[in-house]
Structures are given as C-alpha cells and as structure tokens.
Structure 1
C-alpha cells in the first residue's frame, strides 16, 4: 500500500494545477478478488455487484476473475454487455420497469430476482409474448431475527423483496404463471457485516429455510443467492472481515446443509473493490471558525459522497508536498483537531469530523484510503459545476516503486 504515496507525489510533481484524483491500484484489485474467488468452497460462485463501482476499467479487470456480475438496472446490464457478450448476469432491484425486464431477456440475463407478485405478473406477460420461460429467484425479506449490520434490507419493513409471510400467496400465484420458472431464492438481508462467524450462520439460515420451502412447495432448488453484505471496517483499516475464517467455516457447513444439486451465489460489491481505490485531494485552505479548525480540500462529497452518506469520518493520511511556489505565508495546522471539508456551499460537505492531526499545510495532499467502492459511483458529480477529479488506473504500482502493495 505504501507505494501509493510516491505515486501521488510523482503525480503532483508532473502537473501544474491543483491535484484531485481517484487512483485505482489494478494489480491489488485483481489479486484481492482472485484470492476470494479461488478460496470459496465448491459449489459457490462469486458475482461482483457493480453498483459499488461500475467503471469500465474495473469491470474489464474483474470479468476475467469473477463468475459474473450482479446489476440493478438496464443501464448496468448494458455496461456489462459492453465488456462481455456472455458473462453471467444477475438482475435485482425493487422497481423494475417493463423496458428493463424486456432488456434483461434481450441481453441474456441469467437470473432475474423477482421482488413482488406484481413483478412476477409483469415478467410472465413479457416472457409469454416472447415465447420463453424466464428463470427467476424469489427475493425474500425474511422476518428474522437477523444479525446487526450497518444497513438492513431485511428483517424489518423495507422496499426490498417479498415479505416472508406472503410467500404462500406468491407460490399459489405461480401455479397460474407458465412463463416464469423459479430456480431458488435470493436473500440480501444486510450490508457491511464485519463478523465472519455470524455471516456463516446467516448463510446457514438461508440454506435451512430454502430447503424447507423447496420441500413444501415442490421446487427444484438450483440456486440460493446469499447476497453480499460482507463489510469494510472504515473505523479501523487494520481490522477487516476475516475472509479466511469465513470460508473455513463455510465449507463444512455447506457440506452438511446445502442440497447436493444446489449452488450458492454470492454478490459482493464494496468488499471486492474498496481497498484498491484511493481519493487524493490537495489542501486549499486551513481556517479557524468559532473555535474549530477546518481543512478545505480541492473536491468534496460531490466526488466522494461515501463519508457523509454513512455518517463516518473517512480514514486518510497526509502526503507532504514541500514545494511552495508563493511569496505569501503558507497556512498550516500543527498538533490539533480539524474537520476535513470540501468546496461545496453546504455544511454537509464533510469527509472527516474533528480528527486529530499532527501536521497539515495548504498544498499538501490528503489521501483517503478504501475509496474504491460507493465513492464516485454515488456522488452528485455536477453540483456547483466544479471540475471532475482525474481517474487513474495504475498498473504495476509495485514494480514502479518497489516493495509490497
């Protein structure tokens, strides 16, 4: 990871203007995802949920590694098909239009995650017009209890999935629908779970209840989609989800609980791309206001909205830039606490709140780590019409600067 610092220093030295850039370590991305795919137990497949980061370069790199992509719109389907004409696609989302369902069929989506009885009727009518049978998974909002995590999409009232208590009604409805075929069940009950043992137990619960439903309703259980939900610890970057512990616990559990003809699907996003991405922004100003210090950077939440959307202080480090080309005084802050903010005309443009700072000066670079997921992808890019950041996709960072990445 430390190789990113000399790269940022070099990047700053080579350009005359203010620095603001996303940097993605493509070797680290491939390595991280490759290890996860290869270490999964048999009959498990790992899909990348592209909502976390759908940039073409990221999709092209991961298409060679993952078993497929999970998407949530027709636009995302098209992005995937620009990269590959045949890679498997899973299509979810709580509000699919007729155009999107038509497009899913047209582009050869492997499985459609159906989220309501109305959506089943709509898809059945489209498939009937086309003379096909559409393969689907029923997304179920379980009643729980479920583990605690940063975000919950199940176990409580949400817009996601079919209420578990409505499943008998939906299964009765399916008896009249000849152009959809239920291949199994989809669950995505939570997001950003950091407890590996707890996550094994959650997948075990999915297996148990799917087996019960398959037996009750006479279904062939080809797939159980366990969703994503594996988290990133932004509060302590050194204490991340124990993947090795997860797969070592998952393997014996699946041998016991998974029916012999069933495949488990995982659709991770954040966990796959966050660590290999960085957001780098130059310090524009340092000021004191009502007894509080503020560090203003070139950029902000219109580039990197994740911190304010999750209400956390995002981890960063200072990269010292010694060159100061001006005759006037260089503002600086030493041994204090400051709030890191952007250029927007809103007090919500905050990336880190009252964090301890040993030293920072105007012209230095703040490097935000673990910025490769839900950063640029979810940001309001054109608010106030500020320039977009540069996007750098770096190959061979380790060989360029030496040492481990």
Structure 2
C-alpha cells in the first residue's frame, strides 16, 4: 500500500483527482496468480479492464484480449506484438479487420463469435492469401459466442480453408465465487471437448474466463487462497492441454488507487456532507449501487477531530453522486484527502466521465522509487461541445 507521505507528494505534484497504478503491486499480483496455477496454465489479460498498464504486463502475460479497434490501436502505439494479441469482440467491423490483414505484420489470433464473423475472416483470408489462427467462442447462453451446433459446423468448414482452429474460447462472466458454478462450467467444457474429439478435433488450447472474484466490500465470505487451490485442482481434469485464463479484474484491481480531495463541507437538515472534486463519474466499483456498500478507503486528514457520521459526495450536479453514506470520520477540512483502494479495474473507463463536461483525472503509474504521469488532467469540452460553422 502506497504510504501517506507519498500520496501527499503526488497530490502536490499532479493535483486531484487522479488515478494511480502501482507497478510493484501489479507485478506481485501476476506472480501470485501464476504460482497458484498448474504449469500448463497461462494468463491472458483482458485489456478492457485497464488499458493504461498494458505495457507493464507485456512480459508477464502470454496474451492480451483485445475487444475493439481502439484497444488494438493502443497496442500498436505501445508496440505490443500481434503475437500476443487475441482479437476478440462480439462485433468485428470489416474495414478494421481488413486493415489488419493488409498489414505485413503477423496476424493476431482472432475469435469467431458468429457465422457472419466466420464468413468475414474466411473472405479476407482468401483475398489476402493469408493463414489465420482462430478460436471458436462457445456461448454461455447470451449474445456472445456460438451455439454448439453452429460451432461444430464452422469447425468442419475451417478444415478446408486458411483458418486454423487453435481451440475453444469460453467466458461466462465475472465475480464467480461459487465453486459449484465453476465445476458446472468445467463439466460443460469437458463434455463439449469430448464431443469435438469424436469429430477428430483435439484443441491446442482452451481459453477460459474463470471470473476470479474481487471482494471489494469484504462481504463475500471469500478466501482467495482456498479458491485458487480449488480451481487449480479442478482444472487438472484437462490434462496437459494448454489453458489460457482470461483475467481482467483479478489481475489489476488491487494495483489501483484513486485520490480526491475535500473542496467543501456543509450540514443540511442535520446531515453532514463532505464534497470532493471527484465523484461517481470516476469511481466505479462492481456492485457498489448508490453507496449502499462502503468501499475500501483511507482518509488523510490534517487535524484531529471527533468522529461523526458524514456523507461523501462528488462534484456532479446530481443527487446520485454519493460515494459513501454515513461513514464515521473526523470532521473533514477543505484539502483533506480520500484515497480509494482497489480501483485498478474499470474505474478509468466505466464511469460516466463525460457527464457535466468535467476534466478527466490525471493517470499516474508509480513504483517504489519513481512515478510517471501517463495522462494529464484532460478537458472534454471539445468532445461535448457542438461543432459550429
């Protein structure tokens, strides 16, 4: 955990609000997850969870799950090789995919999530006379992926094409702490792989999203070491098959922190309010729900005061902008700091950051000795303003 003195120095240098990502915490987290799994299990990082730390993971994970043209262009800007990219996504635009085929670099692995996607990739492979490795995504019963029968049909068609099927991709959601649910999914996958074996297809890899949970509010009754040991044993049923775990939240949540400062205080109808320069447009916890749960935080105050109940609200002109309700605090002073922990996943991208045209927070990557600002406080006026003649 980054210490108070360091936080204050960062605030003095970069202002508030800002997101911080601790590279040392991130590295330790990846090493911990790797050490918890069998040798045939590798990690794939879902870039949608946090694209600011992609370069930090380049030599720590096998693949990056990329789900949009924007994420792909970020990878190119960071000079991340296509060899590390699994190009996924429920919608693949022809112009974007053709741009990748027309480039001389080796093609990334591409997922196929519909019969239309199969036809698109097949067409481009023929036009550009290029072989491409693909993963067929099995649906978990929603808009993503392929029904079993359609997947099997595509598998047969790929045998006489430039599409080489590496294996199967399966992802059913996040925050899966139920061991029964995980076992049910693994049973499903094992049964389906047996069906494919009867079609003379043995996959080279299985990409699976285990949805390892993050206990943001200490309310899950969840012991991570125990859960990872359970999962490590359960996954051994697939023998030496190469398994790639697609993880986002589980990898990066713990490395992030968000700093915002008190800009005003008031008491209305016997309710105490501390107003901060951040808000719900920046701070997104999975399952938070209108401050009904208290997220992990530290309050860095300047003066010792008796504790009282306070509501912590953001800078947005909406009654929904409540970060915490009735939390016990020493009386806040203007300039006091709130440091919200476990904000490494989704916070910079899931919030309604354009609402009320407030600047985007700065983004700072830190390690034990130094820091690097990778995004300054950024105005969104040009994004929200109409274009006039």
> TM-score range, shorter-chain basis?
0.7 to 0.9
- The answer (yes or no) to whether the contact 1:53–1:373 under 8 Å persists in 2 is yes
For the residue of structure 2 that corresponds to 1:219, the secondary structure is coil
Match for residue 186 of structure 2 among 161, 179, 204? 204
Gaps of 5+ in 1: 143-154, 324-331, 399-405
User: Alpha-carbon deviation of 1:115?
Assistant: 0.9
Q: What does the per-residue CA deviation read over 1:359-389, in whole Å, with 9 as the maximum and x for residues that have no partner?
A: 4333211111101110112234343332332
Determine the structure 1 residue equivalent to 2:380.
none
Aligned pair in 2 of structure 1 residues 39, 176: CA closer, same or farther (>3 Å)? Answer: closer
Give the distance between the partners of 2:154 and 2:82, measured in 1 at CA.
Answer: 31
2:16 and 2:306 map into 1 onto residues whose CA distance is 20
Q: Which residue of 2 aligns with 1:267?
A: 246
Shift of 1:357: 3.6
The question of whether the paired residues in 1 share the 8 Å contact of 2:25 and 2:255 is answered with yes
Match of 2:18 among 12, 17, 21: 21
> CA shift at 1:308, angstroms?
8.1
Map of 2:386 onto structure 1? none
Q: SS of the counterpart of 1:159?
A: coil
> Match of 2:73?
78
Q: 1:112 to 1:372 in 2, by over 3 A?
A: same
SS at match of 2:18: strand
SS where residue 284 of structure 1 aligns?
A: strand
Out of 317, 323, 333, the residue aligned to residue 351 of structure 1 is 323
Asked if residue 98 in structure 1 is aligned to residue 70 in structure 2, the reply is no
Match runs of 1:5-154 below 5 Å = 5-12=4-11, 14=12, 19-55=16-52, 58-81=53-76, 82-85=78-81, 87-105=83-101, 106=103, 108-142=106-140
Q: Tell me, yes or no, if the aligned pair for 1:185 and 1:210 is still in contact at 8 Å.
A: no
Number of equivalences: 365
Q: 2:198 aligns with which of 216, 220, 225?
A: 216
> Is 2:309 the partner of 1:336?
yes
| Residue 360 of structure 1 pairs with residue 344 of structure 2 | no
Q: Tell me the CA shift for residue 84 of structure 1.
A: 2.5
SS of the aligned residue for 1:282 comes to: strand
Report the TM-score, using the length of structure 1 for normalisation: 0.79
Superposed, which structure 2 residues align to 1:162-241 within 5 Å?
162-164=146-148, 166-168=150-152, 170-171=154-155, 174=157, 178-195=161-178, 197-198=179-180, 201-202=183-184, 204-236=186-218
Contact residue 36 and residue 229 of structure 2 kept, 8 A: no
Q: Secondary structure at the match of 2:135?
A: strand
> Once superposed, what is the RMSD of the aligned Cα atoms?
3.0
What is the deviation of 1:111?
Answer: 2.1
| 2:387 matched residue in structure 1 | none
